[in-house]
Chain A
Amino acid sequence: MKLRSQRTYILPTGPGLVLGLVLLIEFIVALTFGHPFAYALSFLSIGVIVISAFHTNTSLEKIKFLSVKNNLIEQDAVSSISLNIDFPNGFEKRVLICNFEGQKYLTNQVIGKELSTIDVSIMQLKRGVSAFPRLKVQTTYPLGIFKSWKYLDIENSLNTYPRKVILEESETIFSQQDTNMGENSTLNRNLDEFLEHRKFRETDSWKQIDWKAFARGRGLLTKTYTGNSEESTTFQLLKSYSEKDLQMAAAFLFDGFERNKQTCLMYEEQIISCGEDFDHLQRCLRNLCSYEVRDV
């Protein structure tokens, strides 16, 4: 992540404009009456407002945007992108308003202080892999009479996976496909071979732990098999699939993940990923993002 430029933009806010009008009245009264108190009030207001403008302008200066935690979002749904932000020492709590360019309606208010993660809402209408829109970070700190903002370019690509269809529909369609593709079912049952090791998770069965590997000092590892579970289901992508099919595939993958079932995603007889964990889900979804569908 990097800043497009060091430039910070600053403009008065609505209340700031009203206060500016009040300041103008103060000044006219001071000039008209020549009253020292009116001058004192005007100059005091000017002084504090100028300093507050300076503070507003520099209030975004020391914030460091480190990385994007996730770049995978669902198509046509409001998703949240997590950004790692480093606030410097002594940074005071303030409201930061963040939104992606062109998505003003998805503005998030976050309270910034110290190292934290902020979530910014985003919605993409099209599936696919694209560049992130610019992130606008804005603040009106300290007095709310000026707003300053900066644009941030996020170098990662944004992966938008297909919109999930509702579960019942997905299940029905998936059953049909499963029936149609009798080969797949056979493949599921026969592929009972060791696939890979993965780190042990608390939810894993003790039976699945590779104790030999543990004895060799490799730590707790869980053995995974291509068809080791009775609940293992496979979704095979075909070239002829449409957007709707991909949406069903996404729903299928999520369903598997939520029920802790092992799922496999195949493309033209080739296993893309098999598993039940989040990494597997992400791997599959990323594949779905870049999948080319037939022209309808």
Chain B
Amino acid sequence: MFNHIYIVSLLLYFILTLCFSNYFSASHLIFFGAIFSLLVAQFKFQLRYLSWLRLPLLFGGTYLIYIEYGTWKGIGPASTLFSLLVLLKLFELKNKRDLYSLISIFILYLLSLSLLVEDFYYLGVILAAMFSCFYLLFSAEQLEIEDYEIGFSLKKILLLFFQAAPLIVLLMIFFPRLHFGGFFFSKNVAKTGFSEHLEPGNISELVKDSSSIFDASFNKKMKSNDLYWRGLVLIENDEFSWKKGIIPERRSSSPTSKKPGYYVNFHELTLGALFTLSQTGRVKLTSAGALRKNKAGTFSSSPLMNQKTKFIGYFEEISKANLKENYQSTYLQLSIQKSEPLQELVRNNKHLYKLSEQTKDFLVNFFKKDFRYSLSPGSYTGSEALNDFLFKRKLGFCGHFAAASAVLFRTFGIPARVVVGYQGGSYNEVGDFYVITQRDAHSWVEYLGDDGVWKRFDAVEYVAPERINFGGETYFELERLRSQNLKTDSFFIARSSMVGKFRQYLETLYYKSGTLFFNYDLELQKKLFTKLRTTQVSLSYSLKILSLFLFLSCIGICLFKTAFLMEFILFLIIFKKQRIKWSDYRYLTIDGINLLLTNPSKKFSLLLSFYQDVKYSGNASITRKLSFILKGLRILIYD
């Protein structure tokens, strides 16, 4: 029995550490692996003297934590320390008391790990691990029982979980999610997000990674060419490169819109730029963190308590840019070697000077004419890079187009800037939300219109409209199929097939539940209570809820109270024929039943023998019991 507990503990540790392995450094994993091997050896070969290694391992482990993190404070070091403690406790697992200590450390280990992650699927891992911890507790209680049954213990813990489920759900919904800030463990360990420099080849490198960045849902239907997620504004030109500078603008006046436009949830812990749509006037953080409203209508945040950024964007009417007096020196700054073809282009189109809309139209035609969009255009380096792109190779990625367009706008005397962010996203039709991945990374240009409003110009929109209409993920997949001379129709057929739809349903379920789970805070609680107070619940709705409750209760009873249900159905059948009390029925034997019912039907006799068989066989399966229940119900209703 103790061996069984030991094996379960080892397995639980192994699986848990494996699931969270990307949160431990390689050196820690190697260290844990070595201790784990020692534990297995100790268990297999009964090498008791190995437990003497506990103290050196503890010192070694804590030293390693300090070497890796530079501190003993924070969630990372805590989870590593608890992991070490679990392993060391497993060395001295001898009695019930040790087992209880181990389970306590296990729960703390699990708690520290849970703080490291914010992906919804980890909830499954956490629940399974907690289930295992309670299973170990139950097993510890059953140590003295010789013919211990694993199945019985699992069933018992499952029953405990089911019984506790209503209380857990009620607490999850109604317990006030007050936030007391990080007075105990606050530490900001967010990673830096998007690059603040744009080299033309940067984005083509980014899109090779397909990891998801954030998801977004809207309160209204959006067109794909509206989905330009602005992150950074680059204003300083240096040949074919662009970088951040001091923006000659004032922050826009306080926004007025109170109706949320869209909801964004980041998938990674990110420090820096928030990606917002161009009409966004206001942003409200719904996760713990500090929000900063930057100039040029961009936002950035510093997450706190390792919380991934979540925010609500509010749309505003597009207004004039609030420019400072000296804006032209910045927005018209160019640091390029004006090549002969470029000078000729400007000379030939002198009439466009300072006319933004005409210049835009000119550029549309210019790029549309013989430019091509490619993920692998080759490298553009040196002082001739811009010239090479514009007048020779004419092949590039969004970064090349954006960098070149901005230069051309400025050459024609129109203030312009490069914007870096994401465009599009994969749309889930079932759940009506977008998932924006690294493959949607994009850059484009904003130019100052004649009316003083910043407008978007994206050359890719004209060179490769499919990229904008379908989004990066789909576009690159189509490109891959084309490069292999495969039909692109199969992609769309697969997406609209049953499997594709089912995948979308699963994604939606995951997204909706995850969003609700992670965004459920005090504000949402208040909204829920207000809604509950004001909603008039209709009779049909109440009946639906009641039916669902009854249905779930029936399933619960069928699974866990089959013995009682069998008895009860048999009692009802007998009661239908002969009025007896439940208390009397309980003392009735099979012979007693036969005597009581003078002329039992053949079906009932068969049922009774089936009952006898199921009840006294000792190990009747659940299916046989359920079969008895169904047969009993049939006789009860029709006989």
Q: Which residues of A contact B (CB under 8 A)?
A: 14-15, 18-19, 21-22, 25-26, 28-29, 31-41, 43-48, 50-52, 55, 89-90, 92-95, 109, 111, 140-145
Residues of A within 8 A of B306 (CB): 33, 35
Pair A51/B160 contact, Cβ less than 8 Å: yes
Is there a chain A Cβ closer than 8 Å to B233's Cβ?
Answer: no
Pair B164/A15 contact, Cβ less than 8 Å: no
Known: A29-B185, A33-B115, A33-B305. A41 touches B110 (CB 8 A): yes
Residues of B within 8 A of A92 (CB): 152, 156
State how many angstroms separate the Cβ of A148 from the closest Cβ of chain B. 13
Residues of A within 8 A of B520 (CB): 36
What are some 14 contacts across the A-B interface (CB < 8 A)?
A: A31-B180, A32-B182, A33-B182, A36-B517, A37-B114, A41-B110, A43-B172, A46-B167, A47-B171, A51-B163, A55-B160, A92-B152, A93-B145, A143-B134
Pair B179/A35 contact, Cβ less than 8 Å: no
Residues of B within 8 A of A15 (CB): 97, 100
Other-chain residue from B141, B180, B184 in contact with A141 (beta carbon distance below 8 A): B141
Pair A34/B144 contact, Cβ less than 8 Å: no
Q: Which of B101-109, B219-227, B450-458, B482-490 lies at the binding interface?
A: B101-109
Is there a chain A Cβ closer than 8 Å to B127's Cβ?
Answer: yes
**Docked complex Cα distance between A206 and B184 (Å):** 89
**Docked complex Cα distance between A46 and B126 (Å):** 15
Other-chain residue from B138, B164, B288 in contact with A51 (beta carbon distance below 8 A): B164
Pair B130/A142 contact, Cβ less than 8 Å: no
Pair A144/B156 contact, Cβ less than 8 Å: no
Is there a chain A Cβ closer than 8 Å to B391's Cβ?
Answer: no
**Docked complex Cα distance between A279 and B27 (Å):** 76
State how many angstroms separate the Cβ of B1 from the closest Cβ of chain A. 13
Residues of B within 8 A of A36 (CB): 517-518, 520
Residues of B within 8 A of A52 (CB): 160
Pair B161/A48 contact, Cβ less than 8 Å: yes
Is there a chain A Cβ closer than 8 Å to B552's Cβ?
Answer: no
A interface footprint on B148-192 (CB within 8 Å = 1, 0 otherwise): 000010001000110111011001100101111111111000000
Q: Which residues of B contact A (CB under 8 A)?
A: 96-97, 100-101, 103-104, 107-108, 110-111, 114-115, 117-118, 122-123, 126-127, 130, 134, 137-138, 140-142, 144-145, 152, 156, 160-161, 163-165, 167-168, 171-172, 175, 177-186, 288, 305-307, 517-518, 520-521, 563-564
Closest to A88 in B: B586
State how many angstroms separate the Cβ of B114 from the closest Cβ of chain A. 4
State how many angstroms separate the Cβ of B130 from the closest Cβ of chain A. 5
Pair B111/A25 contact, Cβ less than 8 Å: yes
Pair A144/B137 contact, Cβ less than 8 Å: yes
Pair B130/A45 contact, Cβ less than 8 Å: yes
Closest to A52 in B: B160
**Docked complex Cα distance between A89 and B616 (Å):** 12
8 extra interface residue pairs, beta carbon distance < 8 Å, beyond A32-B181, A32-B182, A32-B305:
A14-B100, A19-B103, A28-B184, A35-B118, A43-B171, A45-B130, A51-B164, A51-B167
Residues of A within 8 A of B184 (CB): 28-29, 32
Pair A35/B141 contact, Cβ less than 8 Å: no
Closest to B564 in A: A90
Closest to B168 in A: A47
